[in-house]
């Protein structure tokens, strides 16, 4: 499906360049960049389910809209709270939201909601995930070499790091495969 989409873009670019800009090669890089930017702005990967959850259309996974400690309302009122890793797992598995089964996301799933195109913190789509704290969020993924460490994602800039499981971090749960 992606292959067909890219072929259509390539064909459209060739048609555009051969008809409107046949001898002006200077414009091609600009137009490709501009066209790609427009596509990235219109390809919104999330849907607000209006029940405290967000659908990731790319993966089919369902995210908790608000961080732990906040009210699962439209703007995520209240204050997000930090917890140790084991408490975060317990919270997610016990979460009763939208009639779904919840868990702490893997590091790759959590990285999937980072918006690296943002120049400001937090590095996440705040219209879908309002009041997200620009700080560390726990993943369920532990370090293969050190069993007492788990991977975290920092939403200041979206980088991944390790943290001892007795440290505290923020929590956002996930539901799905």
The beta strand positions in the chain, using DSSP E, are 46-48, 53-56, 62-64, 136-142, 149-154, 160-164, 174-175
| Gap between the Cα atoms of 47 and 159, Å rounded | 24
pLDDT of residue 119: 87
Two structure tokens written together for 74: 């439209």
- The CATH-assigned architecture of domain 45-177 is Roll (3.10)
How many Cβ atoms are within 10 Å of 92's Cβ, its own excluded? 22
Residue that the structure tokens 């532990």 belong to: 142
Where do the structural domains in the chain lie, given as residue ranges?
Answer: 2-42, 45-177
| Gap between the Cα atoms of 15 and 159, Å rounded | 40
| Gap between the Cα atoms of 89 and 93, Å rounded | 6
pLDDT tens per residue across all 177 residues of the chain: 443 443 444 444 444 444 444 444 444 444 444 433 433 443 479 999 999 999 999 999 999 999 999 998 999 999 999 999 999 999 999 999 999 999 999 999 999 999 999 989 999 999 999 999 999 999 999 999 998 999 999 999 999 999 999 999 999 999 997
Contacts of 174 (CB under 8 A, 6+ apart): 61, 62, 63, 64, 92, 102, 103, 104, 105, 109
Q: In what order do the strands lie in the sheet with 62-64?
A: 46-48, 53-56, 62-64, 174-175
């Amino acid at each position: 499906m992606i292959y067909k989409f890219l072929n259509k873009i390539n064909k459209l670019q060739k048609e555009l360049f051969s008809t409107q800009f046949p001898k002006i090669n200077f414009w091609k890089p600009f137009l490709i960049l501009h066209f790609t930017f427009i596509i990235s702005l219109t390809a919104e990967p999330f849907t607000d389910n209006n029940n405290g959850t967000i659908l990731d259309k790319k993966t089919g996974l369902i995210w908790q809209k608000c961080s732990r400690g906040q009210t699962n309302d439209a703007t995520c009122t209240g204050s997000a709270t930090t917890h140790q890793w084991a408490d975060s797992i317990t919270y997610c598995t016990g979460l009763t939201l939208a009639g779904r089964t919840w868990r702490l996301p893997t590091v790759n799933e959590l990285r999937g909601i980072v918006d690296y195109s943002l120049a400001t913190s937090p590095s996440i789509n705040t219209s879908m995930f309002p009041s997200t704290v620009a700080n560390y969020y726990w993943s369920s993924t532990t370090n293969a070499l050190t069993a007492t460490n788990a991977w975290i994602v920092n939403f200041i800039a979206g980088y991944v790091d390790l943290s001892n499981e007795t440290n505290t971090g923020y929590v956002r749960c996930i539901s799905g495969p």
